[in-house]
Structure 1
């Protein structure tokens, strides 16, 4: 039987994914047609981006899974009509892109590359082993980035909502654990999902727990930071600098203070882009798993929201 795979991901996406996704499906030995429109009851799988016009999943009574092209699922997981299993995107290329972004900006702050010398007065940075990089969020991306920095010799600590054990990384959870990680983080990286429990986790109170002069890197979710509190902490010198890739409103409005603050680096949500070839392989492999009676990889917990 030929499977019907509906690509519902918004304008322009079909053109990008048509050839690589067809090739990936064929490589899995599946007989499937990739479409952008079909009677709902005939659809076996939906390849999805939350920016899609498709918001009502009720008619798709025979759909076996919804496979997201995005790593973040906060814009879909709360959809009451979505009763089908949902898988988030965990793409090796996306992970590698995030690792390179985080390591690059950590090293920029660690080596003070934003402050070129103005005189022949040597200022030698500490070695990585004497600099603590803290992580909020130890999921797939957080673990990969933390491991890469640990391999470079940094003192790495991390906080997650659920307890974790990672070799060479001081792992914490709970309110006391959050304070412990913040208190020792010279550079803090936030890679948390967007949930009610993580909204504004960096606020006036928690920012004050960081060492004075700490740096922040946020390629996770814009809602993790209280914008006004961060700007105040920057102006007061509590936070020395921030690199921000994600924002509550995107594109970031032209009049937003982040654009003009001398100690803020804005990047336009580029830290972890999904690559069509590798993402197509992930999607096709998950379809093949379901067809073989195996569980989905990276299935989203509706209770946890990620």
Structure 2
């Protein structure tokens, strides 16, 4: 999982998905480069997968943040805790990596209200479960530019139907579904 998270974060950081869209259109325009130190990675979760992913991202020089329900201490990571600190955490997440389990409290959490609390142009990486994501809200956030991209390891349903809007989105290069099962149709 740490390798997957690192791949996704680096792809978003280096605009790989946006360059893919340009390539498909026969275009090439340099995009603004931001050094890793200028980007804030926010990881929702502090379990084993989250801590391993944070460790994998540390050598790149990103500013690392993590959120959990209870106070944690992770070397090199600014930790946020509880409902009272969620909005501050989200506002400091240029790339949000989602690694919480699916529960009745987290179902549908990746929605328009959460996206609105991220910095404009932020991106998300969903490595939790498909039930965390509200597809319609993601499409609106991408269309409006509120989000610049999304890497989806999981969806609901999985795999997405061939005619699903996330597969057919005009900015489809910015929505990357990397789960191998999605390509085994």
What TM-score range do you get, normalising by the shorter chain? 0.7 to 0.9
Q: Equivalent residue for 2:84?
A: 176
Residues 56-83 of structure 1 show CA distances to partners (whole Å, capped at 9, x for unaligned) of xxxxxxxxxxxxxxxxxxxxxxxxxxxx
Question: Do structure 1's residue 240 and structure 2's residue 148 form an aligned pair?
Answer: yes
Q: Find the partner of 1:188 among 87, 96, 118.
A: 96
Q: How does 1:56-67 map to 2 (within 5 A)?
A: none
Q: Equivalent residue for 1:158?
A: 66
TM-score normalised by the chain length of structure 2: 0.85
Q: Equivalent residue for 1:112?
A: 15
> Which consecutive residues of structure 2, in runs of 5 or more, have no partner in the other structure?
20-26
Cα distance in 2 for partners of 1:164, 1:223 equals 26
TM-score normalised by the chain length of structure 1: 0.53
Q: Equivalent residue for 2:176?
A: 265
Residues 158-206 of structure 1 show CA distances to partners (whole Å, capped at 9, x for unaligned) of 1112221111111112123211111011111101101112112222211
Q: Equivalent residue for 2:107?
A: 199
The runs of 4+ residues in structure 1 deviating greater than 3 Å are none
Deviation at 1:124, TM superposition (A): 5.5
Whose radius of gyration is greater, 1 or 2? 1
Cα distance in 2 for partners of 1:197, 1:161 equals 12
> Which consecutive residues of structure 1, in runs of 5 or more, have no partner in the other structure?
1-97, 271-306
SS at match of 1:114: helix
Deviation at 1:269, TM superposition (A): 5.5
Q: Does the aligned pair in 1 maintain the 2:69–2:83 contact within 8 Å?
A: no
Aligned length: 171
RMSD of the TM alignment (CA)?
A: 1.8
